[in-house]
Amino acid sequence: MTITVPAEPFSFTFDPRQTALMCIDFQRDFVEAGGFGESLGNDVSRLRTTIEPTQRVLAAFRELGTTIIHTREGHRPDLTDLFPAKRDRGNPTLRIGEEGPMGRLLVRGSRGHDIIPELAPIEGEVVLDKPGKDSFYGTDLETILRARGITRLIVTGVTTEVCVQSTVRAANDRGFECLVLSDCTSSYFPEFHESALAMFSAQGGIVGWVADSAALLGAIK
C-alpha cells in the first residue's frame, strides 16, 4: 500500500508498514501551565493548537496499524545524565530537576514529564525517553526503526525549532525520509516555527518535506 501526500517541495510517498509516526515531547512540561516551558518565560497556549490535529493523525495511523513512537524529554531523578550545558539555561530560579507545580521539571516519573492525556500512548506504542533534543541521541530509536524496516517518518511534536528540528535533521543524516506536519508542530515563537518549516523543505527538501494534517488525512482516505 502506497500513500502519496501533496507536500512541499514535492509529493511525499510512503508505505504505512515502513513508516513510523513520531509524536515528539507532547509532555505537560511543554504544553501545560506550570511546566518547564513556562518556567523559561513562554506562553504555552500557542503549543496547544497542535493537540486536535495530532489527535486526528494519531487516530488515522492507529487504524492503519503504523508504528507509533512517543518521545519524552527528561532526566534521571538523580540528574546524573544532565550536563551543566543544559541545566544552566533558562530562568535561574527554576531549573531542570527543581520542584514546580507539576513536580520536578523534566524529571522522569514526575507529572510534568508525562505525555498529556489528550495524546497519551496506548498499548503497543513505543515510549522513548531521551535526555537531549535529538531523539536519536542517547536512545535506541535507530535500532527500533531499523528492526522494523522503517524508512520514513511522519513527524509531529513540540517545539518546531528545538526537538522537532534536531530530530528531523538527525533522522535525515541517518537516511530516513521525514514529512513534518505543519499544524501538528508549534513553537513558543511563531517566527521560529515558520522559519524551521521553511528550512526543512528549502533547497529541494534538503532536510525533508512539509504538509499539513489535512493533506495527509486526505491522502489516507
What are the residues binding ligand TIU (CB under 6 A)?
25, 30, 40, 73, 133, 158-159, 162-163, 188
Based on its alpha-carbon atoms, the radius of gyration of the chain, rounded to whole angstroms, reads 17
The helix-helix angle for 165-173 and 190-205 (nearest 10°) equals 20
C-alpha to C-alpha distance for 202 and 197, rounded to whole angstroms: 9
Nearer to ligand TIU (CB atom), residue 72 or residue 152 = 72
Nearer to ligand TIU (CB atom), residue 19 or residue 42: 42
Q: How far is the CB of 89 from ligand TIU (least distance, A)?
A: 9
For residue 172, the minimal CB distance to ligand TIU (Å) is 18
C-alpha to C-alpha distance for 45 and 42, rounded to whole angstroms: 9
Residue 187 beta carbon to ligand TIU: minimum distance, rounded to whole angstroms: 6
Contact 130, 138 (CB under 8 A): yes
All 3 cell numbers of residue 100?
A: 514546580
Catalytic residue among 163, 178, 183, 184: 163
Q: How far is the CB of 162 from ligand TIU (least distance, A)?
A: 3
- Is 66 or 159 the residue whose CB approaches ligand TIU more closely? 159
Which position among 23, 29, 114, 130 bears the catalytic label? 130
Task: Please say if 25 is a catalytic residue.
Answer: yes
Q: What does the alpha-carbon distance between residue 202 and residue 157 come to, in Å, rounded to a whole number?
A: 20
Residue 165 DSSP one-character state: H
- CA separation (Å) from 79 to 23, 83, 97, 107? 24, 9, 7, 8
Tell me if residue 130 is catalytic: yes
Pick the catalytic residue from 23, 25, 114, 183.
25
d(CA 36, CA 18): 34
Tell whether omega for the bond before 9 is within 30 degrees of 0, i.e. cis.
Answer: yes
Cβ 20 to ligand TIU, closest distance in Å?
18
Cβ nearer to ligand TIU, comparing 65 with 109: 109
Catalytic residues: 25, 130, 163
